[in-house]
Amino acid sequence: MAFPDYAPSIPVFLRRLAQRFGEKELVVLGDQRLSYAGAERESAVLARGLLAAGVGKGTRVGLLHPNGPDWVTGWLAAARIGALVVPINTFYQARELGRILRHADVHTLLSRARFLRHDYLTQLEVAAPELAAQKGEPLHLPSLPYLRAVRVWGGSDRAWAGDGPHGLRALAAATPAIDDAYLAAVEEQVAPADPMILIYSSGSTAEPKGAIHSHGAVLRHSHNLNQFRDIQESDRIYTPMPFFWVGGFSFGLVSAMHMGASMICEELFEPGATLDLIERERATVVAGWPHYAKALAEHPSLRERDLSSIRTGNLYEVLPPELRPRDPELRSNSLGMTETGGPHTIDRMDVDLPETLRGSFGRSVPGLEHKLVDSETGERLEAGDFGEICVRGYSVMQGLYKVEREDAFDADGYYHTGDGGRFDAEGYLFFEARLGDLIKTGGANVAPREVEVALMALPEVKQAYVVGVPHPERGQTVEAAVVLQAGRSAEADDLRARLKAELSAYKVPRHLFLYTSAELPFTDSGKIDKRALATLLAARLARRASLRNGDGP
């Protein structure tokens, strides 16, 4: 394990960063530049304002900002005084926003007024109609009973909303008793064991769940993971991964902060403008979801760009040719989730794997333990058996918000992930499916990932997504949506025929449909929405059956 050599709380972490890295840039957004020392100074003033407003240890502070300096200083200001930070998805619409604010019992909301096409003040009034009649704080709203204040960045004409940064600075200045010495006394009482952040899952397969993580868990895990990747103090990291999800927060922002690297942010991904940003800011690391790499690689100006500053990343199609892996499928992946604070299995992600480990997701992160169980009986399974992946250890959440501990963990303290897979004799994980995604067809179980890997091994196939579609006799049928490589062509029937040499007959998709990426349903986090995909393919099959029966137009 590679843990920090100090008591891992945000106040201690922040002071050490400011002393070590000083005015080196921490985060960049357009013309905004925030240094490590600047983050300490700015968050200290906001923290004193929050204290003057009655925020303290355990107060739930919502954070509705895009990636950038305001997100970072808001998080640090609340966390350094022991408040529980609730990052909020900037893509939320009014219903989703209201649900999270109510479920998390948010007391103080730090929010942008607007972001892209979102008018958050209007959305708040839709979520809580009685808000419009409020004349100022403290707020008392039956629909959001714990909400007492909304502090807005970017200006507001609502009587119920307070000014964000200026208002908090004014509160700090008007309360001389809450000076730097008082702030230091508060920070001394913030312990590694204290809850620091309440992160909600993306909710692609169910309603979002809120996982509580402590100061110590976040700082230890983000530090520990750095031994598996090559991040340096001189790095300038471009990634569109949102800070409000665990990947962008723990494995992105906090991991980079440990090393003194700089984060390059943007408010909107647009391939041409993003290439301008990467080139202008001399990014050294580029990381994100695969569809970002495709969009950047297909931009007509790519070959004219000076991207010589880039030295690593997982947007392989944008990397200089000499840095690209000879076969991206031979690189290790990692498996993680909100409840585990990010990856719980991992391996070096910058070296090719031997053929026997192709498709593996690494081994247990040092300090974490795994077991496999039969999801129906709870019986513990051996290496090589397929079962539900369970994990326990230092990075696993303290609990799910508003869920009793006994309902979140088993008697041995393991969290049951809902993921299915196998560990080999050397401890390498081969993830196969979300258990809820397993396809039950004609009495047999089919793991969608196994079929997807086989499809993507075909040279014409770029992406493959496999789902089960209800069937009156078989229970479900195996169906697939495939995206071809740029410039390649193939017939669906030919691809199916070639799969028959690789898979048991019951695993071969009954139908295979060709799509473009733009035609497929993805979640905000860039993952395929399998529920929506199953609905899409079921409708297409129904239309095909209707036409075959002569019922169509």
Residue by residue, DSSP assigns 277-304 as HHHHTT-SEE---HHHHHHHHTSTTGGG
How many angstroms separate the first and last alpha carbons of the chain? 65
Q: CA 398 to CA 73: how far, in whole Å? A: 24
Residues 517-534, mean pLDDT to the nearest whole number: 87
> pLDDT tens, 281-324?
999 999 987 778 888 988 999 989 999 999 998 888 888 887 78
- 72 and 151 fall within a common domain: yes
Q: What CATH code is carried by the domain that includes residue 96? A: 3.40.50.980
Closest CA relative to residue 278, chosen from 292, 259, 265: 265
Which region among 110-124, 186-200, 359-373, 441-455 has the lowest average model confidence (pLDDT)?
Answer: 441-455
| Other residues' Cβ atoms within 10 Å of the Cβ of residue 73 | 26
> pLDDT tens, 4-13?
999 999 999 9
Q: Is 413 part of any domain?
A: yes
Q: What CATH code is carried by the domain that includes residue 502? A: 3.30.300.30
At 8, the amino acid letter reads P
Residue 357 pairs with which residues in a beta bridge?
Answer: none
Closest CA relative to residue 372, chosen from 423, 435, 438, 426: 423
> pLDDT tens, 344-385?
999 987 778 888 888 899 999 999 999 999 988 999 999 999
Q: Is the pLDDT of residue 418 over 60?
A: yes
Q: Is 128 part of any domain?
A: yes
Sheet holding 363-364, edge to edge: 335-337, 342-346, 363-364
Q: CA 491 to CA 248: how far, in whole Å? A: 38
- 431 and 442 fall within a common domain: no
Q: CA 456 to CA 144: how far, in whole Å? A: 47
Q: CA 112 to CA 104: how far, in whole Å? A: 19
- 166 and 30 fall within a common domain: yes
Can you read off the two tokens belonging to residue 398? 């303290």
Q: Is 195 part of any domain?
A: no
Q: CA 388 to CA 369: how far, in whole Å? A: 14
Residues 89-117, mean pLDDT to the nearest whole number: 94
Closest CA relative to residue 262, chosen from 9, 38, 2, 1: 38
Q: Which has more pLDDT, 327 or 307?
A: 307
Residues 256-267, mean pLDDT to the nearest whole number: 98
Q: Is the pLDDT of residue 251 over 70?
A: yes
- 103 and 176 fall within a common domain: yes
Can you read off the two tokens belonging to residue 386? 């397929």
Residues 260-288, mean pLDDT to the nearest whole number: 96
- 431 and 451 fall within a common domain: no
- Enclosing domain of residue 307: 229-238+253-324
Of the pLDDT bands very low, low, confident and very high (cuts 50, 70, 90), residue 179 is very high
Residues 203-207, mean pLDDT to the nearest whole number: 48
> pLDDT tens, 29-74?
999 999 999 999 999 999 999 999 999 999 999 999 999 999 999 9
Strand (E) or helix (H) holding 154: none
Residue 372 pairs with which residues in a beta bridge?
Answer: 389
CA distances from 440 to 34, 445, 450 (A): 52, 5, 14
Strand (E) or helix (H) holding 317: none
- 56 and 127 fall within a common domain: yes
Chain centroid to CA 358? 24
User: Residue 126: phi, psi to the nearest 5?
Assistant: -70, -40
Look at residues 401, 436, 471 and tell me which one is the last residue of a structural domain.
436
- 411 and 460 fall within a common domain: no
Cα dihedral 360/366/368/373 (nearest 10):
30
pLDDT of residue 553: 47
- 349 and 450 fall within a common domain: no
pLDDT of residue 551: 58
Q: Is 449 part of any domain?
A: yes
Cα dihedral 366/372/376/377 (nearest 10):
-110
- 293 and 373 fall within a common domain: no
pLDDT of residue 202: 62
At 331, the amino acid letter reads R
| Cα dihedral across residues 123, 129, 130, 134: positive or negative | positive
Q: CA 220 to CA 69: how far, in whole Å? A: 23
Can you read off the two tokens belonging to residue 348? 């070096």
At 336, the amino acid letter reads G
pLDDT of residue 323: 78
Q: What CATH code is carried by the domain that includes residue 376? A: 2.30.38.10
pLDDT of residue 124: 97
| Cα dihedral across residues 123, 127, 128, 129: positive or negative | positive
Look at residues 436, 469, 499 and tell me which one is the last residue of a structural domain.
436
The answer to whether 484 touches 462, Cβ cutoff 8 Å, is yes
Q: CA 346 to CA 11: how far, in whole Å? A: 29
385-407 burial code (b ≥16 CB/10 A, e <16): ebbbbbbbbbbbbbbbbeeeeee
pLDDT of residue 205: 41
Q: CA 318 to CA 441: how far, in whole Å? A: 40
- 129 and 172 fall within a common domain: yes
Q: Is 304 part of any domain?
A: yes
pLDDT of residue 549: 66
Which region among 24-28, 359-363, 407-411, 443-447 has the lowest average model confidence (pLDDT)?
Answer: 443-447
- 56 and 130 fall within a common domain: yes
Q: Is 205 part of any domain?
A: no
- Tell me the pTM: 0.85
Q: Is 330 part of any domain?
A: no
The answer to whether 324 touches 315, Cβ cutoff 8 Å, is no
Q: Is 92 part of any domain?
A: yes
Q: Alpha-carbon Rg of the chain, whole angstroms?
A: 25
> pLDDT tens, 122-151?
999 999 999 999 998 999 999 999 999 999
- 234 and 306 fall within a common domain: yes
Q: CA 260 to CA 20: how far, in whole Å? A: 8
User: Which residue carries 């501990």 as its tokens?
Assistant: 405
Look at residues 299, 324, 349 and tell me which one is the last residue of a structural domain.
324
Domains identified in the chain, total number:
4
